[in-house]
Structures are given as structure tokens and as C-alpha cells.
Amino acid sequence: MAWIDILRAGGRRAAVAQGLFAVAWLGFGAFQGIEALNGAPARERLAPTLNREALLAGRTAGAINHVMAHELPVDGWLRMAGGAVRYALGSGGPQVSVGCDDWLYLTEELRPWDGADAAMARRVAGIARLREALAERGILLLVTTSPDKARVHPEHLCGAPLSHQARGRHMAFLAAAEAQGLPVVDSLPVLRAARVRGDTYLRTDSHWNRAGATAVAEAIARAASPGAFRHEEGFRRIEPPAAEHAGDLLRLMSLDTAPDWLRPLADTYSATSVQAPEAEGGLLDEAPVPEVVLLGSSYSLNGDFHGALQLALGTRVANFGQAGGGVSGGAMRYFASPAWRENPPRLVIWEVLERALGQPIGAEEAAFLERPLR
């Protein structure tokens, strides 16, 4: 009967091991929950719900559930592991298409959109109406495009699916703008010409790099009327040493903090900026109010496009670019601001995000495009 005793002893040891594992797992879970609830994002979310009314209404429980679902310390590691497995299988996930040579593309710019032609026509008509309203006030408008990365650097797509709609979107916009009489600085040939000297977009980011942004800024300066705004001397570029830059596409893949062997190599990039000249009379004097305004998307915030514009134009530029704002977000924010009401500009530069031209129009944007300028 010795073998029965052995089995019984083994069973007891297995039960003890299972119990210890369960205790350890519960302890780990408790630690994760406590750490999540102690974090700054959790405190900010929970603060408005720490009262009797919110507790009885279930808002406190909802806030805690959200924290547990999104703020656990281990979440980042789990997402990174999932991203690494997807990338090893040749996928960048739902938002990123993987090209070759460590190039990544935003799926949003490659796919088709329902009702794209009507949405683009509506946006172009709205910009044209705004241009007429500005002209009545003596304000000039210049429009430029920020083309899709896949349009400027298609050689690295290497089989990533590019829809027929996406292929024709840029030319469709130029044709619609011409029909409405919109003055457009076509940045596509400018960026393609600049490619002779090197890449104009970042490999792991959806935006242009400094070379691309500078080329477009210089083209805008050539198209702008020299007498349209006040000129100043003394703008200069500040260029810190180049450093690793994990682009937004790596973040969308949850691989921005992953080691290099698990992901495409990050870009090497210098986050430059442009310093404006000091106001006459010293540091305490107020700088002149900018006579040029930049409206746009996240492209206006990347590649130091804003700084390159100031250098190329030789004047201060107020930047109302808005990340995630699509075609009209920056313009909506500017024309509702005190800056527009109190200090109207002499020149407006509108950087139009190509990939957003055919996307659905929300109620707020529709109202902005159709209402008179105030």
C-alpha cells in the first residue's frame, strides 16, 4: 500500500502548491489594484465620485472599474507583449500597417471612407466661404496640404493595402479647390523633390520630419505676398543633439518602450525649435502681435513646421495647429478665440490634413463650415 501513501502525499503537496499559487496570485492582484488606485490618473478620475450621491448612483464603482481596466501597472507590459507577438507575425494591429525596412503607416490613411466625395466637397466649400469672408476684411488665406505618408514614400509600403480612394484623394482635393478658386500651395511635388536629399517623413511616425516640414514652409514663403505682413530679422534655429524618437505609430502598436529587438528601430531625430528675436528695447517689452496665423492639424505641431514657417517668412506666426483636430479643428479653435476677435491677422495659412478630407463630418464641424464668420 506504499504507493497509495505516495499518491496521497503527492496530492497534499499539489493542493498546498495550488493554495500558495492562489494566495500569491490574489496578492499580486491586490498589489496591482492598490498601485493603480494610488496613481495620479486614478486619483483625478476618482476625486469627483468620492461622495455619497456618486456612490449611491454607481459612479464611484464605475470609476474604480475604469481604473482597474486601464491603469494597472502590469497593463503596459501586457500590451507590449501583445504588440510584440503581432509584429512578429507581420501585423501592426488595427491602426498600423507594417511596410518594409522598418517603415510603418497609419491604416487610417490607406483605407476608404463611406461618403468621402461628399465630405471632401463640403469641407472645400466651407473653406472657400471662409476665404471670401476673410477677403472682405482684407485678410489673405493660403491653403497647403499635408499629404499622406504613403503618397510621399510609397516605396516602403511593400504590400500594405492602399485603397483606390486613397490613391486619388490628393488630386481630387486639388481639383475641388481649383473649382472653388482656393489658392493652394501643393506640397506634394515639393516633398517629392526634397526626397532627393533624404527622407521627408519619419519611419515610425505618421508625420513629416524636419526636412519635409522645412521644404513645405519654404514653398509657402515663396507663394506668400511679401507685403502681406511685417518682417523681422533675427529668427534662429535651436538644434539640440539628435536622440531616439519612438514615433506615434510605435505607440499605437504598444511598442514605444519595447527593446529594439522586439520592434522596428526607432527614428533618430533632433527636436529643433526656432527662437524669435527679442522685442526692441529689451526683454520686458511686449513682442509684436503676430500678423500671420497657422491653422492645421498635428502636422503643424511636428517636424518644427511652425518654426520653419517663422524662419522662411521672417515673421512671428501664431500656431493654432491641433493634434487630432482633422481638417477643421485648429480653425474652429482659432475663430472662437480672443486672438481672432482682438488681433485679427493679415495672413492665414491653413494646413489641410489630406487623410481627413474624406472622413465623416461631425455636427460641430458641419456647423462651423456653414455658419458665417463672426
Q: Is residue 18 pLDDT above 60, yes or no?
A: no
Kindly state whether residue 194 falls inside one of the protein's structural domains: yes
- Do both 254 and 366 map to the same domain? yes
Among residues 20, 48, 73, the one where a domain terminates is 73
Among residues 13, 44, 73, the one where a domain terminates is 73
- Do both 167 and 27 map to the same domain? no
Query: What CA–CA distance (Å, rounded) separates 344 from 121?
Result: 27
- Do both 64 and 121 map to the same domain? no
Residue (of 122, 133, 183, 184) closest to 340 by Cα position: 133
Residue 22 pLDDT class (50, 70, 90 cuts) = very low
Stated as kind and residue range, the H or E segment containing 12 is: helix 2-38
For 158-192, write each residue's pLDDT tens digit: 999 999 999 999 999 999 999 999 999 999 999 99
Q: In this structure, how many other beta carbons lie within 10 angstroms of the beta carbon of residue 109? A: 21
Q: Looking at residue 125, what is its pLDDT?
A: 97
**Tally of structural domains, the chain:** 2
Question: Which residues are registered as beta bridge partners of 292?
Answer: 317, 347
- Domain housing 248: 114-370
Calculate Rg over the CA atoms of the chain.
Answer: 27
For 54-102, write each residue's pLDDT tens digit: 566 566 665 555 544 555 454 566 677 888 889 999 999 999 999 999 9
DSSP label of 347: E
Query: What CA–CA distance (Å, rounded) separates 62 from 40?
Result: 17
- Do both 23 and 156 map to the same domain? no
| Residue 157 CB contacts under 8 Å (≥ 6 apart), including other chains | 97, 99, 100, 103, 105, 150
Name which of 35-49, 101-115, 224-238 the model is least confident about.
35-49
Kindly state whether residue 222 falls inside one of the protein's structural domains: yes
- Do both 175 and 45 map to the same domain? no
Kindly state whether residue 231 falls inside one of the protein's structural domains: yes
Q: Do residues 189 and 152 touch, judged by C-beta distance below 8 A?
A: no
- Do both 332 and 222 map to the same domain? yes
Q: Is residue 130 pLDDT above 60, yes or no?
A: yes
Question: Which residues are registered as beta bridge partners of 319?
Answer: 294
Kindly state whether residue 161 falls inside one of the protein's structural domains: yes
Kindly state whether residue 103 falls inside one of the protein's structural domains: no
Kindly state whether residue 357 falls inside one of the protein's structural domains: yes
Let me know the angle formed at the C-alpha of 320 by 228 and 237, rounded to the nearest 5 degrees.
75
Count of residues for the chain? 374
Kindly state whether residue 199 falls inside one of the protein's structural domains: yes
Provide the mean pLDDT of the chain.
86
Among residues 58, 73, 88, the one where a domain terminates is 73
HEC string of 287-335 equals CCCCCEEEEECHHHHCCCHHHHHHHHHCCCEEEEECCCCCCCHHHHHHH
